[in-house]
Amino acid sequence: MRISGFGRYALSSCVAVALLAGCGGSQPPIAASGTRPQTSAIAAHAGRGTSWTKRGASSSTLMYATGGCGGACVLSYPQGQIVGSITIDGGVWGDCSDGAGNVFVTNSNHVLEYAHGGTTPVATLSLPGSEATGCAVDPMTGNLAVVFAGGSVNVAIFPDAQGTPTVYSSHLSSTYCGYDNASNLFVSGIGRSESGISELPNGATGFSVLAVKGKGSLGNPGQVQWDGTYMTYEGSSSSDIKVSRIEISGSTARVVGTTRFKGKLRNAFQSWIYANQILIPYATGGLNSKIIGLWAYPKGGKLTARFGHFPDSKSWSFKGVTVSVQ
Instruction: Tell whether the model's pLDDT for residue 24 goes beyond 50.
Output: no
pLDDT of residue 73: 97
The structural domain count of the chain equals 1
How far, in Å, CA of 41 to CA of 237, rounded? 37
Instruction: Tell whether the model's pLDDT for residue 323 goes beyond 60.
Output: yes
Does residue 109 contact residue 125 with C-beta atoms inside 8 Å? no
pLDDT of residue 309: 87
DSSP state string for 192-220 = TTEEEEEEE-TT-SS-EEEEEEESS---S
pLDDT tens readout for residues 135-187: 999 999 999 999 999 889 999 999 999 999 999 999 999 989 999 999 999 99
Task: Judge if the upstream peptide bond of residue 298 is cis by omega within 30 degrees of 0.
Answer: yes
DSSP state string for 264-325 = --BS--B-EEETTEEEEEEBSSSS---EEEEEETTT-BS-SEEE---TT-TT----EEEEE-
Rounded to an integer, what is the distance from CA 78 to the centroid of its chain?
17
How far, in Å, CA of 196 to CA of 189, rounded? 5
pLDDT of residue 38: 52
How far, in Å, CA of 174 to CA of 94, rounded? 13
Model confidence at 192, pLDDT cuts 50, 70, 90, reads confident
Beta bridge partners of 252: 211, 249
The average confidence (pLDDT) of the chain is 87
| CATH code at position 59 | 2.120.10.30
Does residue 133 contact residue 147 with C-beta atoms inside 8 Å? yes
Torsion sign across C-alpha atoms 222, 17, 215, 209: positive
Domain that holds residue 105: 3-324
pLDDT tens readout for residues 33-84: 444 445 444 444 544 468 999 999 999 999 999 999 999 999 999 999 999 9
Q: List, in order, residues 6 or more apart from 166 with CB less than 8 Å away.
A: 156, 157, 159
- Considering only 8-12, 125-129, 189-193, which range has the smallest mean pLDDT? 8-12
